[in-house]
Structure 1
Amino acid sequence: MKDFPIIRVVSKLLIPYILLFAFYVQFHGDYGPGGGFQAGVIFASALILYGLVFGLEAVQKVAPPAVIERLMAAGVLVYAGTGVLTVYLGGNFLDYDVLEHHFLTDYHVPSGQHLGIFMVECGVGITVTAVMTMIFYAFAGRQRAI
């Protein structure tokens, strides 16, 4: 894409807005349409656009495959850890009501339902971003069969 400077410039201008929109969808997904899955795909699309325009090596410098592999596991751990925490606190798996009684006594923070959903959606967003990026790495890095 070095022969197409307009595409490179427009991509550099659009990627920050794509990332900002992904964060908007992530953090407002519990109030309206959206959430972790949609935000994860949008965030990964910014990385994929960067990779398509500037090359696989460039995007792998920004988001190394080793980091992406760890993020896939970390997102699942955040999701499952939220459920295990609710069981540990005496509720059912992903029963967010117990979070309110243990963490939200004198602070001005959201209810247990809101906190639990937020934690789960963050885990989903991290996992989806990492998996979609790793799928792009797998397809973009394959060699042509002769």
Structure 2
Amino acid sequence: MRNNLIILLAARILIPLIILFALYVQFHGDYSPGGGFQAGVIFAAGWILFALVYGLDRALEVIPLAWMYRLMAMGALLYAAVGLAGVALGGRFLDFYPLLADPQSAQQAGIMLVEFGVGVTVASVMMLVFALFARRKGDWDDANAGQGEP
């Protein structure tokens, strides 16, 4: 697809818009439907489109596999840390009210952090699943080259 001018031009326009929409869904999710999970899937879809158009090797230069593993763990740890912070401050797990003096600010900050952790985890898992399957497909094609297999 790297030689098709129409696909390259469409991807060059769409990928930044997809990432921007993912950020909008991420940070507007506490006011409207949406949030971390949806934003993570949208962000991963933008990266996957990049990988399909420009190739997996170039996409892995942008976000390497090692960083996908790290981001997956950091997102889950952020979620757990926010939940446990409420417990440490005398509340229940994912009880945001003890986090700040103002209950409304505490609720908003807590949900933003939790949703950000979910978004990072979902995006990295989706990208990782795609990358591992795509690399496996490439290994299969290389191993069976010239054997008459489709």
TM-score by shorter chain over 0.5: yes
Secondary structure, aligned partner of 2:100: helix
Tell me the residue number matched to 2:108. 114
How far did 1:3 drift?
Answer: 2.8
Residues of 2 paired with 1:44 and 1:24: CA distance? 14
Alignment-mate amino acid for residue 131 of structure 2 = Y
Gaps of 5+ in 1: none
Secondary structure, aligned partner of 2:76: helix
Residues of 2 paired with 1:116 and 1:2: CA distance? 43
Tell me the residue number matched to 2:85. 85
Alignment-mate amino acid for residue 27 of structure 2 = F
Tell me the residue number matched to 2:54. 54
Alignment-mate amino acid for residue 57 of structure 2 = E
How far did 1:111 drift?
Answer: 1.4
How far did 1:115 drift?
Answer: 1.0
How far did 1:100 drift?
Answer: 2.5
- TM-score, normalized by length of structure 2? 0.89
Q: Compare CA radii of gyration and give the structure with the larger one.
A: 2
Residues of 1 paired with 2:33 and 2:52: CA distance? 28
Tell me the residue number matched to 2:69. 69
Tell me the residue number matched to 1:21. 21
Cα RMSD of the aligned pairs, angstroms, is 1.4
Aligned residues: percent identity?
A: 53
- TM-score, normalized by length of structure 1? 0.91
Gaps of 5+ in 2: 145-150
Secondary structure, aligned partner of 1:111: helix
Secondary structure, aligned partner of 2:61: helix
Alignment-mate amino acid for residue 46 of structure 1 = G
How far did 1:23 drift?
Answer: 0.3
Confirm whether residue 135 of structure 1 aligns to residue 129 of structure 2. Answer: yes
Secondary structure, aligned partner of 1:141: helix
Deviations 1:38-68 (A, max 9, x none): 0000000010000000100010000011111
Alignment-mate amino acid for residue 90 of structure 2 = G
